[in-house]
Homo-oligomer: A and B are copies of this chain.
Amino acid sequence: MSLRHALLGLLAEEPASGYELTRKFERVLQRYAWHANNSQIYPELSQLRDAGLAAVVDQGPRGRRTYAITDAGRAELLRWMRNPPETFQVRNEFVLRLFLLSALEPQEARTALQQIAADSDTMLGALREQVEKFDTDAEPGAPPPIGRLVAEYGLRSYQTLHQWALWAQDHIGQASTPR
């Protein structure tokens, strides 16, 4: 039940409404870590509330309800963080398509790799901006927030993807024939 813990993790940073959590998923988690949309988030928040792991701490206009993590919620999040499974399940259609590139003719595979190289380059630009923003906002000498570490991870991952796509273009050959 990762969605539950993703929500607890976001609420551990600061209280938020279902709407704000939906936005956070879109901005922060969606690209590398976890995908969820509002029709999943609202029912899960209700369950979190019923289970005593989160509580409504504020009501605003348009029926807005701000949730905060409770002590029990914090304990549950810690328990989960301290007990990782030995193996993690991954579902990433993008990488799946990389694996199945051999089903295409080499020329078509090369074109696909070019597209990947271009897209990852665009992503790199956005991530570099994000990292720079962290670094200019930081007080000199102070250790960076975790968000900075995560952005660094994203940056390095896309750099790796980009460089691999360029490398693969050079090494993909006529001999890698599909059958």
Is A149 touching B171 in the complex (CB atoms < 8 A)?
A: yes
A136 touches B (CB below 8 Å):
no
Is A33 touching B175 in the complex (CB atoms < 8 A)?
A: no
Query: Of B8, B95, B160, which contacts A156 at CB under 8 A?
Result: B160
Q: List 7 A-B contacts (CB under 8 A).
A: A35-B89, A35-B90, A81-B97, A98-B150, A102-B146, A143-B173, A160-B160
A164 touches B (CB below 8 Å):
yes
> A136-150: which have CB < 8 Å to B?
142-150
Which residues of A are in contact with B by a Cβ distance under 8 Å?
2, 5-6, 8-9, 12-14, 28-35, 74, 77-78, 81-82, 84-85, 88-104, 108-109, 112, 142-150, 152-153, 156-157, 159-160, 163-164, 167-168, 171-176, 178-179
A148 and B147 CA atoms in complex are apart in Å by: 34
Residues from chain B with Cβ under 8 Å of A167 in the complex: 152
